[in-house]
Amino acid sequence: MIIVGLTGSIGMGKSAVAAMVRRLRVPVFDADAAVHLLQASGGAALPGIAAVFPGVVVDGVLDRAALGAAVFGDTPGLRRLEAIVHPLVAAARMAFLRRHRRATIVVLDIPLLFEGGGEGQCDVVAVVSAPAAVQRSRVLARPGMTADKFAAILARQVPDAVKRARADIVIPTGGTKAATARAVRALVTTLRSAGTDLRGDRCRLHFSGNHAR
């Protein structure tokens, strides 16, 4: 099994790329979806969240806006939330890998892959990237998003330029969807051809012809 870490900063189009990967019949673990499930009614994260953040869980339902307000701009509060959620997400990720242990390729869609030091668990790291102006336009078009919120989110993320420099492959999303789809197909085709020869040795795979900086 080749484990691909898929990451990218907010607004870079990572979800669209993950969807393209799924259409190529590659199993994808969605870390954001896992968090959502953990925080849904009856989710495993709710007891811990309720204990640490009184009032954000009412009748077994998480008030996401209240939780967001409780941790926005509060680094210690955010760290306490991460201490509750991250181990549960890690357990869900391991369960995913066990379910797909016979797959040739699996993708771990993790927004904060570098921030959490998770790249060492991957054979290949793919970073989704678009020009800053495109990123900003996409993010500010989201409901409830403001320039201040956007700036605060970026401050918690490894800069895009650093992510691209540390990546094995950069998938461009600033152009057409067709161009992005071609980059995704090229990556999956290359990995399928490499097979298990790649496992545990990221340096043995070179994408110099496919990088889009």
Contact 164, 213 (CB under 8 A): yes
pLDDT tens digit sequence for 165-201: 999 999 999 999 999 999 999 999 999 887 655 554 4
Q: Which two tokens stand for residue 170?
A: 């950069």
Average pLDDT of the chain is 88
Rounded distance, CA 189 to CA 213, Å?
A: 20
* pLDDT at 7 > cutoff 50: yes
User: How far is C-alpha 82 from the chain's CA centre?
Assistant: 15
Encode pLDDT of 11-61 as tens digits.
999 999 999 999 999 999 999 999 999 999 989 999 999 999 999 998 889
Say what the pLDDT of residue 209 is.
34
**Domains along the chain?**
1-27+105-208 (3.40.50.300), 43-99 (no CATH)
Tokens 């097979």, located at residue: 195
C-beta separation of 62 from 39 below 8 A: yes
Give the percent of the chain with pLDDT over 70. 91
